[in-house]
């Protein structure tokens, strides 16, 4: 019996969490939900009132939102080494970029896909919780500009799963502008055995 139940759909952000689960290496049970009534059923709304996937239940603890799930799993399974130690100088950047990706970056990507941009007038710009997508891409490129393999430096982490997925998907679908260093970085993260296993599992579930 597994302590983790994973709710997902193979055509969703659940692919990020699947990859994280494979990196953690803990056993889990998968529940694939179709879009529409299954995600809006009373049973699933009791888990995620938004009626969206992914979500996990770990020993009775419900966690939703990709960034939160990745951070939670990294802490729940420390032997996987996917989060910097609390005393590490990388702990701050780890949180900073994890939640920047969950907030301003995703907002910038989704808003552009809807045809929204940051307003031109300074007062509105000051109120907005995100910046232009091109400027966001420049920030991400700066993280990789010193030739580092991973976003925090020499060590792969949950940040590479979450933010790395957004960079990879953004380049695949053209929703994130290209920058120097992106292609090499995407090649490194997507060649990881856990990433490959996760992709195979989700591709099979989507057939």
Neighbours of 114 (CB within 10 A): 7
**Helix, coil or strand: residue 84:** coil
Question: In the prediction, which pLDDT does 118 show?
Answer: 83
Given the candidates 1.20.1050.10, 3.10.129.10, 1.10.150.240, 2.120.10.30, the CATH classification of the domain at 91-192 is: 1.20.1050.10
Q: How is residue 27 written in tokens? A: 């056993």
CATH code of 4-82+195-205, in short, is: 3.40.30.10
Question: In the prediction, which pLDDT does 1 show?
Answer: 66
Q: How is residue 168 written in tokens? A: 């990879």
**Helix, coil or strand: residue 43:** helix
pLDDT tens string, the chain, 207 residues long: the values are 689 999 999 999 999 999 999 999 999 999 999 999 999 999 999 999 999 999 999 999 999 999 999 999 999 999 999 999 999 999 999 999 999 999 999 999 999 999 988 888 888 888 888 889 999 999 999 999 988 999 999 999 999 999 999 999 999 999 999 999 999 999 999 999 999 999 999 999 987
DSSP string for residues in 53-115: S-EEEETTEEEESHHHHHHHHHHH-GGG--S--TTSTTHHHHHHHHHHIIIIIHHHHHHHHTT
Distance of alpha carbon 87 from alpha carbon 90, whole angstroms: 8
Task: Confirm if 54 and 30 have CB atoms less than 8 A apart.
Answer: no
Question: In the prediction, which pLDDT does 148 show?
Answer: 92
Q: What is the pTM of this model?
A: 0.95
Domain spans of the chain? 4-82+195-205, 91-192
Distance of alpha carbon 187 from alpha carbon 72, whole angstroms: 26
């Amino acid at each position: 019996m597994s302590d983790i139940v994973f709710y997902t759909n193979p055509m969703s952000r659940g692919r990020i969490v699947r990859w994280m689960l494979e990196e953690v290496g803990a056993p889990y049970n998968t529940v694939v939900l179709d879009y529409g009534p299954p995600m809006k059923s009373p049973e699933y709304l009791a888990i995620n009132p938004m009626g969206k996937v992914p979500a996990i239940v770990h020993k009775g603890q419900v966690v939703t939102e990709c960034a939160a799930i990745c951070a939670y799993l990294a802490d729940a399974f420390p032997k996987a080494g996917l989060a910097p130690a609390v005393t590490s100088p990388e702990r701050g950047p780890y949180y900073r970029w994890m939640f920047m990706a969950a907030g301003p970056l995703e907002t910038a990507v989704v808003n552009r896909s809807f045809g929204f941009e940051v307003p031109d007038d300074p007062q509105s710009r000051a109120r907005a919780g995100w910046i232009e997508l091109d400027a966001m891409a420049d920030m991400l490129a700066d993280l990789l500009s010193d030739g580092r393999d991973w976003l925090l430096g020499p060590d792969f982490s949950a940040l590479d799963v979450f933010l790395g997925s957004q960079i990879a998907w953004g380049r695949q679908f053209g929703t994130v502008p290209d920058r120097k260093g992106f292609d090499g970085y995407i090649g490194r993260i997507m060649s990881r055995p856990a990433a490959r296993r996760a992709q195979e599992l989700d591709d099979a579930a989507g057939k």
